[in-house]
Amino acid sequence: MSGYTYSDRQIQTYTEHAQAAVLWERAQHWEHNANYWKHRAESAERRMLEHYCEDEQ
């Protein structure tokens, strides 16, 4: 995403094709963000479990 966020009100003034393009780009951005944070959470969980297991020994 270009770093600029289009408001829903602004998008409504676009042609149908332009609206679809902007909404598709927004969905791609959200998917990328969700995957990023999922991997971060999984990595943190893995590190936490490794640390927890090391303390038990």
The structure tokens listed for 53 are: 């297991």
Q: Quick check: 35 and 11 in contact, CB under 8 A?
A: no
Q: What is the pLDDT of residue 56?
A: 60
The DSSP call for residue 7 is -
Q: What is the per-residue pLDDT across 14-57, written as a single tens digit (0 to 9) for each?
A: 999 999 999 999 999 999 999 999 999 999 999 988 887 766 65
pLDDT of residue 50: 86
Q: CB of 11 within 8 A of CB of 19? A: yes
